[in-house]
Amino acid sequence: MSTHRTLHRRRFLQLSGTTTAAIVLAACGGPEPEIITEEAVVEEAPKEAPKEVMVEEVEAPSQYSESPRLAEMVANGELPPVAERLPVSPLVLPRAEIGEYGGLVRMIHLDPSSFVSQYGWFAERMLTYSDLDLKTIVPNLFASWEVSDDATHYTFHLHEGMRWSDGELVTTDDVDFWWNSIATHPEISSSVWWVYRHGGENMKLEIHDNYTFSVTFAAPFGNFPAYLTRRIQGDFLLPSHYLQQFHADFADASDLSAMLEEAEYETWVQLLSNTRSGRSIWGTRPNSPEYPMLSAWIVDKEPQQGLVLMKRNPYYWKVDTAGQQLPYVEDLRMDFVANHEIATQKTIQGELDYVGPHDVSIARFPLYKENEPNQHYQVMDYTSCMTDRYTLYPNHTLAEDAVLQEIVRHPNFVKALNVAIDREEINQNLFFGLAKMGQLAPMPNSQYYKPAYVEAYAQYDADMANQLLDDMGLTERNSDGFRLRPDGEVLKFNIEHSGPRVGVATHEFTEIVVTFWREIGIDASTKEVQISLYDERWSQGLIHCGCWHADRCTDLLLPVEMRWFIPTNIGQGGAAPLWGQWFRSAGQEGEEPPAEIQTLYDHYNTMNTVLDEAERVAAGQKIFDWLAENPLAVGSVSESPAPLIFPKTMRNLPQAGVPVGWDTYGISTYHPEAFYYEDGA
């Protein structure tokens, strides 16, 4: 990462009258295991046979060992021996170095309800992408799987003998409980996630034995394994032995009544839902100490509000090639801080060991580097697939302003918003020239990428922007120079965002953008709102223009979640929440989009259906070909550094340049369970 660029902040300093530095300083022995190797491949069997995903086996450890802390517990009779705590064939994780046990990782979180930068430390997914090529889907919580020729039938195998963090076995009873007693239970859920009703019907679950089950879809679903790389504990695997005590179909009625009274809930569904949520079903918040987990670290205690202490999971099911049970690091500590300024201050003062993708920004890069030589941390050179990729989403389904909605839907309007912005000036003023600017598009490392996508309407051309608006008929202006709408009202356009939840520099970015839009006669403004209010207003179609970071931009996630590119979702961003609602509800809710948007949905359906990767990419590129001519959003950063903070003495870290963000589930793809401190300190 270059650090010798001349740092230009002319425009930002004019806007803010201060510097980032001033802001921050003011804030003051078992059987043979399964092995994932560098040669791991998805084996293509003949078409007449199912395609079985294989992992090549290499020499396995002959015996197992554990951390000194756990060994002491075994000696004291508090735990069974390590070989009895591991699966019959534990998953072996080869890394560059065999690690050492010990150490604490100190982190922060800015949202009491979710750990948006820390989830990568404790999120275990059903399947995952190999970090060796970021293309091959490999086993994780699921040990192996097969798919039928027509991609409608999948069979999955669990790790025999894998255990929950309380020592109970993980079996297909947990899968059956999730599907029949939670996901499709009429008192708990009105409908399942659309992925599990692909083809228009709920998938069918069949349990074969304690460790094998199948799912069958009503239509071909070749992309289903990719979706499973995003599903963690909470889908498929729920600790049924623990949760049944809160479920009316299993619990003793008197016991359940007593728990309801103590917890002050009216119904057992409320009690169960609160308990099983673990505060975040998708993994951004670790569960309570009592809740059984499958992650490398589990909650130890919460000694005060906002402080969470985590310890190693004694039943974690992975080992290194020397037979040492993972993880290497002993403990995690997460402290709540009120804002990013405090987080940055703690970073440069050496009070943190890890600062993740939501909490760093190249807008703070000089501060990190200036203090790096005298502190224990190092600024890592990764590529962001989330942070600083700010994208603006003009809302095409404005529920309460039909006139402004018609303006936004005119093909000229979003084009004008795009070319009115000098992206390179934003780069110099806010990102110190370290970013590559461009339109919302797949990242250059994606199979879906074409240069035309990132270049489309990304040039700065204020004259073109004015002409596009004039051609719409928006030629009348008031005495302040702002354009008038067809109803005679001033053309106001407000960007709403949730500040730090989106990124460190969200406020500065949106302030710069509105100055450009005001220069072409739009009375633009921006304001920050709480994330809960933002989500509510966006989903109801009340926000003129939303702002979010454009993750889902690499092949790890783009093919399964196109929400930023086409309106397939409701919350946070995208072209139109009400169109997204229509899509998610199969036309039962929201607003039916125009035919050209529905054609994009058809291409997306093809991406999900086909088994062949080339066909999937071809269908996706049809979407991006259309968007290059008809932009629905206003992108800014195509590619930028992700300056994550790690200790200088930590090893087995991700290689320089790899993408880090939501697409990689934070650092999850790079196996933090195998990070370690030199000398364990």
Q: Give the pLDDT confidence score for residue 59 in this predicted structure.
A: 65
Pick from 471, 439, 380: which is nearest to 564 by CA? 439
Please compute the mean of the pLDDT values over residues 670-676 and round it to a whole number. 98
Please compute the mean of the pLDDT values over residues 158-162 and round it to a whole number. 98
289 in any annotated domain:
no
Question: For residue 315, which amino acid is it?
Answer: Y
Q: How many residues does the chain have?
A: 681
Q: Which residue has the higher pLDDT, 415 or 539?
A: 415
Q: What percent of the chain has pLDDT over 70?
A: 89
The yes-or-no verdict on residue 137 having pLDDT over 70 is: yes
- Residues 341 and 246 occupy one common structural domain: no
- Residues 501 and 611 occupy one common structural domain: yes
Please compute the mean of the pLDDT values over residues 579-600 and round it to a whole number. 93
Tokens encoding 392: 């603006």
The yes-or-no verdict on residue 112 having pLDDT over 80 is: no
Confidence of residue 584 (pLDDT cuts 50, 70, 90): confident
Please compute the mean of the pLDDT values over residues 11-16 and round it to a whole number. 29
Tokens encoding 570: 């409701």
Q: Give the pLDDT confidence score for residue 39 in this predicted structure.
A: 33
The yes-or-no verdict on residue 273 having pLDDT over 90 is: no
d(CA 437, CA 444): 12
Domain boundary among 233, 251, 280: 280
d(CA 36, CA 56): 7
Q: Which residue has the higher pLDDT, 606 or 12?
A: 606
42 in any annotated domain:
no
The yes-or-no verdict on residue 278 having pLDDT over 60 is: no
d(CA 206, CA 208): 6
Q: How many Å separate Cα 192 from the centre of its chain?
A: 21
pLDDT tens for each residue of 30-67? 333 333 333 333 333 333 334 444 444 556 788 999 99
Residue 676: which domain range?
A: 64-123+295-387+640-681
Pairing of strands 492-497, 641-642: unpaired
- Residues 335 and 403 occupy one common structural domain: no
Confidence of residue 280 (pLDDT cuts 50, 70, 90): very low
Give the helix/strand (H/E) hosting 172.
helix 172-176
Q: Give the pLDDT confidence score for residue 286 in this predicted structure.
A: 61
141 in any annotated domain:
yes
Q: pTM for the complete prediction?
A: 0.88
The yes-or-no verdict on residue 405 having pLDDT over 50 is: yes
Domain count, the chain: 3
User: For the chain, what is the mean pLDDT?
Assistant: 88
Confidence of residue 232 (pLDDT cuts 50, 70, 90): confident
- Residues 539 and 648 occupy one common structural domain: no
Confidence of residue 285 (pLDDT cuts 50, 70, 90): low
- Residues 239 and 339 occupy one common structural domain: no
Q: Are 500 and 506 in contact (CB under 8 A)?
A: yes
**CATH code of 173's domain:** 3.90.76.10
